[in-house]
Homo-oligomer: A and B are copies of this chain.
Amino acid sequence: MYGLIGKLVATEGHRGELARILLEASAAMPGCLSYVVAEDAEDSDALWVTEVWDREASHAASLSLPSVQAGIQEGKPLIAGFGDRHVTRPLGGQGLPG
């Protein structure tokens, strides 16, 4: 499996809208096993996106999906910056298939 943990910082006051766009854009992505959008409890502009994919190629391919491309275009003006980004190899756990 292939995983990503990433922090996004929304432009002030736009975190909720950015989260909505991310959730809509990620609703149907082949090979995606988990994609959770979460507010940071301490930073009122920050979101965390934690992702688990069956393999890295599925993540790469998702970036070409029309729904994802539309989300990127819609969300880009609402992103002030990116924070931490970690690539992982998920081993398993609750909420994953199998």
Q: Give me the interface of A with B, judged by CB distance under 8 Å.
A: 1, 3, 5, 19, 23, 26-27, 29, 32-42, 48, 50, 52, 84, 86-96
* Cβ-closest chain B residue relative to A27: B94
Picked from B29, B32, B40, the residue with its CB within 8 Å of the CB of A86 is B40
Complex Cα spacing A89 to B37, Å: 9
Which of A23, A32, A50, A92 has its CB near the most chain B CB atoms (within 10 A)? A50
Q: A34-B93, A34-B94, A50-B50 given. 17 additional CB < 8 A pairs? A: A1-B38, A3-B38, A5-B50, A23-B91, A23-B92, A29-B94, A33-B94, A34-B96, A35-B95, A36-B90, A36-B95, A36-B96, A37-B91, A38-B91, A41-B88, A42-B86, A84-B84
